[in-house]
Structure 1
């Protein structure tokens, strides 16, 4: 057997739409020794995690907890639990991940209606209402921040519309939670799902979910308790059971409830990671965190435009945590990304489907959303673009970003 090297990753500045750099506090927390999953110290950590999740989701939902899976697994958990075979679901798709929701729901046996929008735009709420007028839907499933295009869908009016038409509103906030406003209760979201590898700034491996009493009742009607665990008081629901054991919301509810019914062995180190990541958010406060992302987004956008690069999509609905730029004519986007990585240790991303090779996507998320990262990227990108044949304006990008930062400092002093 040949010898294998100890893991020692090269230094990287992650400026992708995910994953992003984990806060060092999170990495330190993950190295703590393992507790048993029913140890009172550990179950108290679980309770604290739920409390902090409610703060970040801006909700009072009782069912707010983690699932030991990726963000995609979190989406599948909620969708397979809330949607029964034959249910009609409307999906306003304006990028790659709207189609992912459709893929998951089709496997649930749902009847899907896709509303499709040109990539780089978002839906007018009236378009959703017009579709709801035509048929009776159990739910609308929607992306909040579509990282494939950098667009962010306004949800408040859609939430009000769904309530009027008696439809659930299930939202993928994987890219936005912790970096942009997500108001679960105020926007009348029935369920909301996120992950850890983006604005939460922890490694991928946990999904944050929350859902309201309406979905809780659906889960109760589909509930099953495994043999060997259930008691005489456990009664099976009247509807067909959820077609997954591991992703069964009813069993997960019991696992996170005071009953602590055994379901799976908790991913202890990831629980530590999410707990510490949420602590970081609580300490910073949501208001300050959102302001930090918005400031860095303004500086990044100003720098890119000063360089002569074109921002992709509808700027009015651009996410504050992802920026997409059109690749200049004659420039090889793959070569740009490769040189940024190899020469500067900076990673950015391309996109999917019709935008593959046409745009580059830059993340401004969580712990990676820092002034020094923005300035480093702008300086490096200018050099790399020029060396790859792009006609960019030299020496302007970093100054434009610095103007934004210095103006912010002046405003703070005035206050």
Structure 2
């Protein structure tokens, strides 16, 4: 058997719903050499990263750090640490990733209730409040930006409703943070998780998280003793503590908070290379300015929106509530959606996405996020998409996509 060749990925422009083309500066940071996990430089870098992500999340929460794993590891860590078996959780569902929260919460043993709207819409705050009054949850778990539908859920009113009824609020901001406004403290969000592979411009593999003091206290109350889960459960019973222990070790945020905290209690070996990447993602975002980054995503998202319309394509969903960083377009009649995506990839090296469930085969999802939220990426994608559509027999406006996008940039 001949030896395996070195890694040599093909040139790609990732213009789908994520992952996106990583910022070269993030990749350079990730090539730095490792140091020991308790080296003073390493622990100082961890502390520095916590401070950077407080700025990204716009929070003063002490408990702001990284969960080592993809964005889904962050989601699961939050829910398994917040939810005890039998507790009631309410999930507003407006796309695939709301259903994911339902699945994970169910696996935690929670009693899960939902409020749902058709894909392409967002959930009104009054629906959430009515459900809170009806089912009395201890937690509302919500997605901000659901890339399956491209909708961005307004959160300020939901946060106010949760505060008024003394309900904690968890938000999955994986697909939206950095490209859409997010105000952890101002909106009253208790726990937020994210990922690097969307608007933050990095690779998947690290999940930033921030936890309010109230949520941290709730999680800490479920902490296991070092002797083990069985002994901890017995001790809790003897002490009259009615908190169930967290049923995960790796995703136990009570232990991870101690690992990142001043005591640096050993829990796992920090994923050093991912720490470097996550730090660089946050550093670049803070250096650009949060408001400027959101505006950059808004501008290039508006150009892509105008461009696909300029080609004569129909946009899916309530555009007034569309995420800045991704647009869903209906596949024209007579066009094989998967074949067109394949042609765009093989002929031009550009990737766009399909969708899930009721939208599979009906829409394409085109992203403008992170490092790819820039003019050349938008114009190149529109020009190449036009050629693929023409080759497939679709009637499109010649040059209409690029022309419409350039009008947005010229305004």
TM-score (norm 2): 0.96
Partner residue, 1:362: 366
Structure 1: how far apart are the matches of 2:155 and 2:362? 28
**1:331-371 CA deviation, whole Å, 9 max, x = no partner?**
11101100110011000000001100000001111111111
Structure 1: how far apart are the matches of 2:227 and 2:280? 35
SS of aligned partner of 2:118: coil
Partner residue, 2:380: 376
Structure 1: how far apart are the matches of 2:190 and 2:397? 47
SS of aligned partner of 2:300: helix
SS of aligned partner of 2:64: strand
Structure 2: how far apart are the matches of 1:199 and 1:45? 22
Structure 2: how far apart are the matches of 1:244 and 1:391? 54
TM-score (norm 1): 0.95
**1:3-40 CA deviation, whole Å, 9 max, x = no partner?**
21211111000111110111111111111110101000
Gaps of 5+ in 2: 229-234
Partner residue, 1:273: 277
Structure 2: how far apart are the matches of 1:329 and 1:68? 44
Please give the residue correspondences for 1:81-160 in structure 2 after superposition, counting only pairs within 5 Å.
81-160=81-160
Displacement of 1:118: 0.5
Structure 1: how far apart are the matches of 2:244 and 2:307? 55
Partner residue, 2:178: 178
Please give the residue correspondences for 1:3-42 in structure 2 after superposition, counting only pairs within 5 Å.
3-42=3-42
Q: Is the 8 A contact 1:335 1:388 kept in 2?
A: no
Please give the residue correspondences for 1:246-257 in structure 2 after superposition, counting only pairs within 5 Å.
246-257=250-261
Displacement of 1:105: 0.4
SS of aligned partner of 2:279: helix
Q: 1:292 aligns with which of 291, 296, 303?
A: 296
Q: Is the 8 A contact 2:326 2:367 kept in 1?
A: yes
Structure 2: how far apart are the matches of 1:213 and 1:84? 18
Displacement of 1:227: 4.2
Structure 1: how far apart are the matches of 2:226 and 2:23? 38
Structure 2: how far apart are the matches of 1:278 and 1:137? 33
Partner residue, 1:411: none
Q: Is the 8 A contact 1:195 1:208 kept in 2?
A: yes
Structure 2: how far apart are the matches of 1:261 and 1:366? 34
SS of aligned partner of 2:194: strand
Count the aligned residue pairs: 401
Q: Is the 8 A contact 1:58 1:185 kept in 2?
A: yes
Partner residue, 2:352: 348
Q: How large is the Cα RMSD of the aligned pairs?
A: 1.2
SS of aligned partner of 2:209: strand
SS of aligned partner of 1:195: coil
